[in-house]
Amino acid sequence: MRRWVWLLGVLVLLLGAHAAYWRIVSARLAAGYQDWAAARRTAGWTVNSGTPAIGGWPLAATLTLPEVFIAAPRPTPAAGDLTWSTDHLTLRVALLQPALLEVLSTGLQRLRLGEEPEIPYTADVLRVDIPLDPDGPGTIDLVGNDLRIGLPVAPGAAPEADPVAGLTIGLLKGHADLPPAPQPMGFLLAAEAVGLPPRALPAVTDGLGSRISSVSIEGSLTGPWPGAANLAAQARAWRAGGGALRVGRLALGWGPLGLSLTGRLMLDGELQPAGSGEAHVVGFARTLDALAASHAIGAHVALAGKALLGLIAQPAGAQTDAVDLPLTVQDRMLTIRTVPLLRLPALEWD
């Protein structure tokens, strides 16, 4: 009998300790959010929400905020405020992982930059993971499932029957390394099962299909973080500090087309993109035939493109539908080997 009483006492003691630990973590989570919101408001942000609710016991501490609205002030006079709203925002700290903050947003969400049209979107799962260890590596991870993004809605325009009937993404993953300067910032963004909006590029989607199987980009960004008052000054400072964008790999799978690209981009003296890279293209002949059949391009353009790429791809007469293309961007001209291909529009920083 005494043994059972002793075991019951130990169990009650453990449950009490667990409840006390949960209360401590919950209180720190709520205080941390309030401190963050106060600091943002001091910096000129707008941070509003409904009455927060604490929960998550017994596995986690959660802080749920309804009707959240956040507006970040414009970084330069020429830019606009960045506003974001969501039906529900949940901050979660698992009791077994107290150094990791999970930020989950659910319901209809809206994003707007300045006076640009508003972009509504929603997702089954949209989560951002942020480490809370101040001495650890600065990283951010993003996971999204069944993301549905509506077409931009101009202010005053009649809303769509389905506000998120537009772009769809089956799986979205992102990662960013945020080390202290001057170390490069690494990033990765990947999406699978991307469904294009019904009325986007109809001739192209008729040829290649309305679903992109996968698209991803991985690379790093070097150079000083912009601190000047306007975009042109920021660009000049970034260039003077050795700023560069390295694309370790950009990959795309769309119908018959397979594309992978590596390269490095900087800014020239006129603050225009300049750099070099190499693209590996699979299925170029089938892609050009499909685009010609859907009247996205003319039949003569498809024939000339296949002839040119065929000469590059098979110098020894081998039959293949893949080609490696060295690319150069200089003086706003995109060049394949020595052949000028496309005049790029100028970047207007001011």
CA distance 302 to 287: 9
**Confidence band of 316 (pLDDT split at 50, 70, 90):** very low
Query: Of all residues in the chain, what percent carry a pLDDT higher than 70?
Result: 86
CA distance 209 to 254: 7
Mean pLDDT for 151-168 is: 67
In sequence order, what DSSP letters do the residues of 81-137 get, joined into one string?
A: -EEEEEEEEEEEEETT-TTEEEEEEEEEEEEEETTSPBEEEEEEEEEEEEE--TTS-
Give residues with Cβ within 8 angstroms of 52, minimum separation 6: 30, 33, 63, 64, 65
Q: Which residue has the higher pLDDT, 22 or 153?
A: 22
CA distance 215 to 225: 27
pLDDT at 319 over 60: no
Q: Quote the pLDDT of residue 114.
A: 78
pLDDT at 288 over 80: yes
Strand partners, 176: 140, 187
Strands, E, within 153-206: which ranges?
A: 167-177, 185-195
Mean pLDDT, all residues of the chain: 86
Highest mean pLDDT among 16-20, 41-45, 133-137, 163-167: 41-45
Q: What is the pLDDT of residues 250-264, one digit of tens each?
A: 999 999 999 999 999
Q: Could you tell me how far CA 125 lies from the centroid of its own chain?
A: 15
Region for residue 349 given its phi and psi (left: phi exceeds 0; alpha: psi -120 to 50; beta: otherwise): alpha
